[in-house]
Amino acid sequence: MSLLHYFGQRRGRLALVIAIIVVNAGLLTLGGIGSATALTLIVKRQAGPFFAWVGVTIAADLSYAVLLYFQTVQKTKLTQEIDTLIRADVAQRLGAQDYAGFHHETTATYTSWLTNDISTINEYGIGDLLMIIQQIAEIIFSGTTLFFFHWSLLVTVLVFAAAMVIFPRVFKTWMDRTSLARTKANERLVNVLEDMLNGFDTLFMTNLTKVLAEKIVAASRDVNHHYIAFGRASGAMYASTNGLSFLSQLLLLAQAGWLILRRLTPVGAISGVQYFGGTIFAELSGIAFNWREFRSVGPIMDKLASAGTKPVPGPPADPWLARPTALQLTDVTYGYADRPEKVLRHVSLTIPVSRKLILTGDSGTGKSTLLGIISGQITQYTGDITLSGQNYRDLPQGVLHDQLAYVTQEPYIFNASFTWNITLGRSVPTAELTQVLQQVGLTPFVDGLAQGLDTILTHNGTDLSGGQKQRIALARALVSGRPILLLDEATSALDKDASLALEKSLLTMPALTIVMVTHHLRPEIAALADQVVALSDINQ
Ligand SMILES: Nc1ncnc2c1ncn2[C@@H]1O[C@H](COP(=O)(O)OP(=O)(O)OP(=O)(O)O)[C@@H](O)[C@H]1O
């Protein structure tokens, strides 16, 4: 992932912005030439030409002002387009990862990548690169003009220019290091913000809301510290390159005076040298500074690329999977990386097609872990799992996901309409949607909403009850049309009668293969299952 790659994708607008920038640099130069020439003419007391050049200078400066407007607008459009390209790329990479890969970083970290890092790319990547182009254009125009005043002025400029290009290299490592540390601190801040703000209710009920401010202030100080470290690096470079620039301008002024005294250049050169010399050195020190900043975006782009590889379209689903015959677990063993004890030990289980299996067991014994493995989210187990005789390890994730719907205890609700939360954007016939709503018992609730199915639900369903969220998740699973349902305490938030009714309705759907995890197995539910398995009986 390189920023230049994204510039390439928007080369048309980039060319337009560069064209405006170059014309503007030319207009600025014309303004400078106008002032210098006017000075020469007034010393010679030539009134007509003097006012003509004043007019040229005014016209150049006014045109510059007008073009500046278009430059700003086009630059903003270019920046916004590139932002979206980068976000799309990162989002695609995140979406193409496997379950463990995605959860390697927190969502807050990803948020920081897609917000803070994009801002940094805007400022230091896009903004600085365009600024560098403008600075180069101004340097070329100013250098050419100085040459016409006297060639020796250009030689002096080139000597100092070389010094200014070499000098900032001293600061490269310092700036790279502090820039990366700064983005890491931003990630930590976003993580703390998300953690504390999401935990508000808990802190509020325990009268500990002061913790909110304490943690946020601490994380903010951490960010301050790293911004200041970067500010030191960039400030040191900025100050020293500017010092060199001032020194160069003074020498150039002295040289121009000497040339005028020896009648080798017109009097106007005194203002021209100040103007163009000042422009060249200011822009050169600016380039050195902006180039360093621009380069500091490199590690950020590398970090964004670490989100994974770009997705490649998966193979089409195998026809043999159209109707899976059975799920078969053989000798499955698994333990979490940071825990010494294995949670599952040599578990073997067969779940024939369209059968209903209920898995029971005490809390913490590994039921959810087993469903995590069957769902394909956890992959680092030993042993084998097959679906229709095909080993999970040979199945592309997409193919497996086409066969399974996994409903957890705490389903996620998107900040989108009721319909979207059930269909996830797929098109589903209204009759089917209505039937599923009926099956999961959501119809009375939806009918009571002023906007019905168009009601926008809040982020993570904070305006819904736990039971309503679970009903939505079940509707989502049924609408998906997957032949295998994995239910992890999927009705735990419902009252006894509602939970019984819903479980009964699910277990009597003839086509579905169901693996249902439950703590509270009621006899009427057990009677509907083909198999009731206690995890402790199969976990050795
Ligand atoms: N991400 C994780 N990292 C480390 N350990 C974990 C993780 N998830 C679960 N565990 C541990 O694995 C064990 C089994 O957890 P699991 O959630 O599978 O149990 P469970 O039978 O579903 O429990 P419950 O009925 O309470 O939901 C527990 O000891 C738990 O602490």
The stretches in the chain having pLDDT less than 70 are 309-325
3-state secondary structure of 494: coil
CA-338 nearest atom, ligand 1: 4
Beta bridge partners of 38: none
Contact call for residues 354 and 512 (beta carbons, < 8 A): yes
Ligand 1, atom 14, lies closest to the CA of: 366
Question: Could you say which DSSP state residue 453 is in?
Answer: G
Give me the pLDDT at residue 137, please. Answer: 95
Q: How far apart are the first and last CA of the chain?
A: 48
> Tell me, what's the pLDDT at 68?
95
User: Ramachandran region of residue 373, left (φ > 0), alpha (ψ -120 to 50) or beta?
Assistant: alpha
Taking only the tens place, the pLDDT of each residue in 472-482 is: 999 999 999 89
How far does the centroid of ligand 1 lie from the alpha carbon of residue 341, in Å? 12
Helix residue ranges per DSSP H, 44-150: 47-95, 99-102, 107-114, 116-120, 128-149
The letter for the amino acid at 351 is I
Q: How far apart are CA 298 and CA 181, in angstroms?
A: 13
What is the average pLDDT score of the chain?
89
User: What is the residue with the minimal CA distance to atom 2 of ligand 1?
Assistant: 336
- Which residue type is seen at 357? L
Count Cβ atoms below 10 Å from residue 412 Cβ, excluding itself.
Answer: 13
- Return left, alpha or beta for 174; rule: phi > 0 is left, psi -120 to 50 is alpha, else beta: alpha
SS3 of residue 3 by DSSP: helix
Query: Residue 261 and residue 259: Cα distance in Å, rounded?
Result: 5
Supply the DSSP symbol for 123: I
Q: Which of 365, 489, 492 to mutate to test the pocket of ligand 1 (most atoms within 8 A of CB)?
A: 365
Instruction: Please choose from 336, 362, 410 the residue to mutate so as to test ligand 1's pocket, defined by most ligand atoms within 8 A of CB.
Output: 336
Cβ partners under 8 Å of residue 65, min gap 6: none
Give the atom of ligand 1 at the shortest distance from the alpha carbon of 369: 18
Contacts for 495 with CB less than 8 Å, ≥ 6 apart:
467
The pLDDT value recorded for residue 60 is 94
Q: Is 372 in the pocket of ligand 1 (CB under 6 A)?
A: no
Shortest-distance Cα residue to atom 11 of ligand 1: 364
Query: In the chain, which segments carry CATH 3.40.50.300?
Result: 319-538
Token pair for 428? 């589903």
Q: How far is the CA of 35 from the centre of ligand 1 (A)?
A: 78
Contacts for 104 with CB less than 8 Å, ≥ 6 apart: none
At CA 320, angle to CA 319 and CA 321, rounded to 5?
A: 90
Q: What spacing in Å lies between the alpha carbon of 326 and ligand 1's midpoint? A: 26
Question: Which protein residue's CA is at the shortest distance from atom 26 of ligand 1?
Answer: 363
Question: What's the CA gap between 253 and 141, in Å, rounded?
Answer: 19
Q: Give whole-number Cα distances, 508 to 17, 115, 482, 485, 512, in Å.
A: 65, 47, 16, 13, 9
Residue with tokens 């006017």: 38
3-state helix, strand, coil in the chain (%, to 5): 65, 10, 25
User: Which residue puts its alpha carbon closest to atom 29 of ligand 1?
Assistant: 364
Q: Is 340 in the pocket of ligand 1 (CB under 6 A)?
A: no
Residue intervals of the chain classified under CATH 1.20.1560.10 are: 3-305
The pLDDT, as a whole number, for residue 476 is: 93
Cα–ligand 1 centroid distance for 377 (angstroms): 14
Q: Judge if the beta carbon of residue 277 lies within 6 A of ligand 1.
A: no
Q: Tally Cβ neighbours within 10 Å of residue 114.
A: 16
Question: Helix, strand or coil for residue 388?
Answer: coil
Q: How far apart are CA 378 and CA 100, in angstroms?
A: 7
507 CB near ligand 1 (under 6 Å): no
What is the distance of C-alpha 480 from the center of its chain? 28
Q: Using CA atoms, how far apart are residues 342 and 315, in angstroms rounded to an integer?
A: 34
Q: CATH for 319-538?
A: 3.40.50.300
ipTM, two decimals, is: 0.96
* CATH architecture for the domain at 3-305: Up-down Bundle (1.20)
| DSSP run (H or E) holding 229 | helix 210-261
Residue 503 has phi, psi (to 5 degrees) of: -65, -40
DSSP state at residue 351 = E
pLDDT given for residue 474 in this prediction: 94
Beta carbon of 367 within 6 Å of any ligand 1 atom: yes
